[in-house]
Amino acid sequence: MKPLALIALCAALAAQTPQKPLDRQTDDSLPSIKVDVNVVSILASVRDKKGALIPSLTKDDFTVFEDGKKQTIKYFTRETDLALTMGLLVDVSASQRNLIGIEQSAANQFFGQVLRKKDLAFLMEFGEEAELLQDYTSSPRLLYEGLRQLRISSGVSGPMPGPVPTIGSPRGTVLYDAVYLAANEKLKGEVGRKMIVVITDGVDQGSRVSISEAIEAAQKADAVIYSIDYYDPSAYGGFGFGGGGGEGALRKMSDETGGRVYKVDRRHTLDQVFKELQDEMRSQYMIGYTPDNDARDGSYRKIDIKLAGKEYKAQARKGYYAIKQ
């Protein structure tokens, strides 16, 4: 993994050691997920053919395969039993200029409705650089104060600046760097449900890491990426820059980690998207198993989940790295 040179953010991360509540609760039925390095944990959502969430399945409804071999499920719980650790990443490049106010309001409402005392969240913005605006907290008030700090980041200059910050320059919108840092520097050492929610048009300009490296970091952190595809057509001269320009990249990051892409448009507002995301978070399952292949050789192992009901489909990460911890 090549090193990142985001000095400002790295310094902020080093200086702001998370102050976690001493009484943060976790599910007593899952003690080994915190201490047994050979337990693979999977966060899964299940939908029917019409896309409706199915929240009432049991352990017997799931069969897990690793590299094609059936595994024995050791732990199974509903999301309500597990603490949530989440990072919200907001695109503040010039193309998002007209959307920031809406994002602040919707995200504030989302935090207020989702976070419980045992949950933690942090807030990061990314444009030319990625910056941590609020470290881990369970306080919606502090997160709102962080949201109020969102500022457009644009290095575009010249008489006819383009819609994408620093297009044609080395850096502009460091989406992949932000995802990498959120996963590797913030979520990697956490336990329970871990999520990255990113609001962006999906366009990356100038990240030092690739999309594959960002996805790998999320997979190694056991973090699920939920992408909110939100773009302003007027920022691209009315052409939409290919419908936002980065929907394919967002889908790749979300699909590989077990998340989902939510698209904002005139018929589907950001408030509605956050409501749907909240519903999904309340309808998840955590599955844990000890792999038959216990070698911690750093290799990538494919995961496949089958359900007893053929009308159902599981949404979960597609694999993990068997790294020694």
Residue 158: burial class (beta carbons within 10 Å; 0-12, 13-18, 19+)? exposed
For residues 210 and 252, membership in a common domain is answered with yes
Least confident of 22-31, 205-214, 239-248: 22-31
Read off the tokens for 56. 């009432």
Residue 11 in domain: no
Quick: pLDDT tens for 92-131: 998 888 999 999 999 999 999 999 889 999 999 999 999 9
**Within this chain, do residues 266 and 308 fall inside the same structural domain, yes or no?**
no
In-domain check, residue 263: yes
Is 93:154 a contact under the CB 8 Å cutoff? yes
Six token digits for residue 259? 């998340």
| Contact criterion met (CB below 8 Å) for 115 and 138 | yes
Q: Which of the 8 DSSP states describes residue 179?
A: H
CB atoms within 10 A of CB 256: 19
Angle between helices 100-114 and 140-147 in degrees, nearest 10: 170
State pLDDT tens for residues 61-87.
999 999 999 999 999 998 766 889 999
Both 130 and 61 in one domain: the answer is no
Whole-Å CA distances, 131 to 151, 179, 229, 247, 308: 11, 12, 20, 23, 44
Residues across the chain = 325
The answer to whether position 65 is within a domain reads: yes
Q: What are phi and psi of 64, to 5 degrees?
A: -110, 135
Which pLDDT score, from 0 to 100, does residue 244 have? Answer: 45
Q: Would 73 be classed as within a structural domain?
A: yes
174 pLDDT band, cuts 50/70/90, is very high
By the 8 A CB rule, do 254 and 225 touch? yes
Pair of tokens at residue 134: 């609020």
- Reading the block at residue 208, the tokens are 């030092």
SS3 291: coil
User: What pTM does this model have?
Assistant: 0.82
- Phi, psi angle pair for 306, to nearest 5°: -110, 145
Would 20 be classed as within a structural domain? no
Examine the domain organization and report whether 114 and 41 are in the same domain: no
User: Do residues 179 and 227 both lie within one domain?
Assistant: yes
Residues 255 and 125 in one domain: yes
Q: Can you state the percent helix, strand and coil of the chain, rounding each to 5?
A: 30, 25, 45
Q: Is residue 221 part of a domain?
A: yes
Query: 257-278 pLDDT, tens per residue?
Result: 999 999 998 889 999 999 999 9
Domain shared by 61 and 134, yes or no: no
Number of domains in the chain: 2
Domain, as residue range, for 71: 32-80+285-321
Compute, in degrees rounded to 10, the torsion defined by CA atoms 182, 108, 204, 136.
Answer: -10
The full 3-state SS of 206-273, as one line of letters, equals CCCCCHHHHHHHHHHCCCEEEEEECCCHHHHCCCCCCCCCCHHHHHHHHHHHCCCEEECECCECHHHH
Q: Looking at the structure, do residues 137 and 274 belong to the same domain, yes or no?
A: yes
Co-location of 133 and 57 in the same domain = no
How far apart CA 219 and CA 73 sit, in angstroms, is 20
Q: Are residues 123 and 255 in the same domain?
A: yes
17 in a structural domain:
no
In this structure, the answer to whether residues 295 and 191 fall within a common structural domain is no
159 and 207 housed in the same domain: yes
Find, among 107, 9, 42, 122, the residue nearest to 288 by Cα: 42
Helical H runs in the chain?
7-15, 32-35, 100-114, 140-147, 175-181, 211-220, 247-257, 270-281
CATH number at residue 149: 3.40.50.410
Whether residue 235 is predicted with pLDDT greater than 80 in this model: the reply is no
pLDDT digits (tens, 9 = 90+) for 122-172: 999 999 999 999 999 999 999 999 999 999 986 543 333 333 333 344 457
